[in-house]
Amino acid sequence: MRKVAAGLLVCAYITLSLTLALYLWGAGGWPAGVAGAIGAFGTLIGIHSLFSRGVDRSLLRSEIRVVREAHAILADQIEQMDARIATASAEAHHEAEELSGEVRMLEDLVQRMTQNVEARESFVVAAAAPIAAGHEQRTAILEAIRDALSDNRVDLYLQPVVSLPQRRTVFYESFSRLRDESGRVMMPAEYLAVAEPEGLISAIDNLLLFRCVQIVRRLAKQDRKVGIFCNISLASLADEIFFPQFLEFLAQNKDLHGALIFELGQGAFRQRGSTEARNMAKLADLGFQFSLDKVTDLDLDFSDLQRSDVKFIKISAQVLLEQLLEVEGSLTMKSMRDLNAADFADMTRRYGVEVIAEKVENERQVIDVLELNIAYGQGHLFGQPRAIREAILAEADPAPPAYLNQPLRRRAWGGR
């Protein structure tokens, strides 16, 4: 439209100039040459206008093209600048993170150095204190243990082991507790570290055994067929003086072999030597059975357990549930991934070993344990350890064996 308008405008200029020239010449007032010159001048003006507009448009297009090219260059530069800024920002962020990490590392090192310095200072202060203080404390605990054993202040505590899901008491686990002169109960953690190097563990085990025999006799009188787990230590199994007398006492009461189950920790069972294994075999020859408690590693040699007359293993409910692993929609045991979790207890039974879920604390654990087809449970949910009154034990027979009345002796166990 702009080109058509420009053409018409030029034509109008030429037509007007020619019309004016013809008018001037026709009127006779102007010479023909002058009139022609005016027409030619108007024509030239029109042509020049047309040409100048064409030039202007060409220049405008050229300028527009230059502006576009400049805009494209500027946009490219801006894009490159953005990329550089982003790279610089990322590098700065990475450097800031590295710096922050180095600062945290330095803080940790300073904190550790401070703790080490404080620990060394505490050690120096403790080392500078009189050694006699620790010796006196150890001596006091040792005397309290000796007095408790001599004065028969060894109490029997029983905790029920129940069948599942009926929750009927079928076993008890026995615990020994010593009392000092004031009647305060001494927990095992308080006295074991002192009693073991002095050779007193065997005396405690023997007193516990005697207490268990007493309570089994009383339960038998009530026609209650309930077994008792009785803890025995490696020290007792290896004691060359106590164990023969211990064995003789059990031989005199071997009718109780179905009611007394001797219990060791899994760690102690694995650490037993030839002497301990041989003496366990002697107990098995009398018909007594064994149990492993504190089982945390389920990678067990069940054939070895069967040969050693181990009939029970106690695994805490928490350890059992932590062993569960879901594979392709079914539950397996982490240590036996080719075995369905519900078949674990059945597999142990093929070796004559029953699983007891111990430390059961809530009903949710009971449900999970039942899903594993486990037949027995133990824990505070079913009953806490309770002391058996001395009067009940006194009614239960038998007389204490002679070796329990022997003077307590001091013996170094050589690291046992």
CATH 3.30.470.10 applies to domain 153-405: no
Rounded to 10 deg, the angle between the 132-150 and 201-221 helix axes is: 30
Is the pLDDT reported for residue 122 higher than 50? no
- Domain ranges in the chain are 1-126, 153-405
Percent of the chain with pLDDT over 90: 28
Is the pLDDT reported for residue 8 higher than 70? no
- Report pTM: 0.62
What lies within 8 Å, CB to CB, of 165 at 6+ separation is 366, 370
Mean pLDDT of the chain: 75
Task: Point out the least confidently predicted range of 93-107, 182-196, 301-315.
Answer: 93-107
Q: Residues 397-409: pLDDT tens digits?
A: 444 554 444 544 4
Position 105, amino acid:
M
Q: Residues 26-50: pLDDT tens digits?
A: 655 555 555 555 555 556 565 655 5
Is the pLDDT reported for residue 208 higher than 60? yes
Is the pLDDT reported for residue 325 higher than 60? yes
> What CA–CA distance (Å, rounded) separates 174 from 33?
147
Long-range pairs of 5-12 with CB within 8 A, sequence gap ≥ 24: 6/49, 6/50, 6/53, 7/50, 9/49, 10/46, 10/47, 10/49, 10/50, 11/46, 12/46
Mark residue 397 as left, alpha or beta (left: phi above 0; alpha: psi -120 to 50; beta: remaining).
left
User: Hey, which of 9-13, 85-89, 98-102, 172-176 has the most confident mean pLDDT?
Assistant: 172-176
Q: What's phi and psi for 239, nearest 5 deg? A: -70, 115
Which residue from 270, 155, 140, 265 is spatially nearest to 204, judged by alpha carbons? 155
Which residue from 301, 324, 309 is spatially nearest to 263, judged by alpha carbons? 309
